Amino acid sequence: MKGVVLAGGTGSRLSPLTRVTNKHLLPVYDKPMVYYPIQTLVNAGIHEILVVTGGKNAGDFLRLLGNGRDFGLKHINYTYQEGEGGIAEALGLAEYFAARDSICVVLGDNIIESNIHHAVENFQRQKEGAKILLKEVSDAHRFGVAEIRGERVLKIEEKPKNPKSNYAVIGIYLYDCTVFDKIHRLKPSGRGELEITDVNNAYIEQGKLTYEVLRGWWTDAGTFESLLRANNLVAETGANKMEIARQQVAL
């Protein structure tokens, strides 16, 4: 399995913080934001990583991350998104990197407390399709929202006015190699972007989307409120913690 971190976009919701830099380079407590999604992948045992960036500050990612020494990596791959075509368009740029392997995609502004290696292992046993991670929230209208019945996701709605559940689709997605065929078939949404929610709904239509509910806290960091929350959560409890059992094995 390979990892993809999506770190493009203009970060307009954080202007003027993002006027002269990329959102994912802003600090979250003691590290730049993009460190957290990369660490999420590394902690899950995924070491072949592509960072998709864009905008005017793409070179700063190379200066900051280099070959990934801060994460114990020997190499990081980079690619560049021209313009503002949305999350699914950015992911489409990972097609050659993925080379028909399955991928774990993490949005560059998503920060989690725990380790997703269980979900990754479960997905590898699934053999095909996709897996999303859900988290119960009180402000579901800000996110993709999953309508679930038992073990099944019936549909995902992007930022619905009247959410059908409190389960937000967090920005960590596991996909088989058919994800790129699905992206090629997408049409831009009302806001002119290729939506990751449409990719996930395409897997639902095929009956090939599973879900798990994430343990530990999760936050995005793309608005002033959520960026402040991310800073506080990381400062108070730490992010990307390895699970105790894993730590014991390592010791």
Backbone angles phi, psi at 86, to 5 degrees: 100, 170
Closest to ligand G1P by CB, 122 vs 189, is 189
Q: Which is nearer to ligand G1P, 50 or 137 (CB)?
A: 137
CB of 69 to ligand G1P, least distance (A): 28
How many helices (H) does the chain have, and how many strands (E)?
9, 13
Could you tell me if 9 and 21 are in contact, meaning their C-beta atoms sit under 8 angstroms apart?
no
Closer Cβ to ligand G1P, 38 or 169, answer by number: 169
**Least CB distance from residue 118 to ligand G1P, whole Å?**
20
Nearer to ligand G1P, 61 or 143 (CB): 143
**Strands 2-7, 49-54: parallel, antiparallel or unpaired by DSSP?**
parallel
Site residues, ligand G1P (CB under 6 A): 87, 107, 110, 143-144, 158, 168-171, 196-197, 220, 222
Continuous segment of H or E residues that includes residue 104: strand 103-107
Asked if residues 240 and 116 have their Cβ atoms less than 8 Å apart, the reply is no
CB of 227 to ligand G1P, least distance (A): 12
Instruction: For the CB of residue 140, give the shortest distance to ligand G1P in the complex, in Å.
Output: 9
Based on CB atoms, which residue is closest to ligand G1P, 129 or 163? 163
Rg (CA), the chain: 17
DSSP annotation of 163 reads -
The half-sphere exposure of 46 on its side-chain side, counting CA atoms within 13 A, is: 29
Residue 128: DSSP 8-state: S
Q: Cβ 153 to ligand G1P, closest distance in Å?
A: 13
Pairing of strands 103-107, 2-7: parallel
The minimum distance between CB 171 and ligand G1P, in angstroms, equals 4
Q: What is the rounded (10 degree) CA torsion for 119, 125, 127, 131?
A: -20
The residue among 205 and 246 lying less far from ligand G1P, judged by its C-beta, is 205
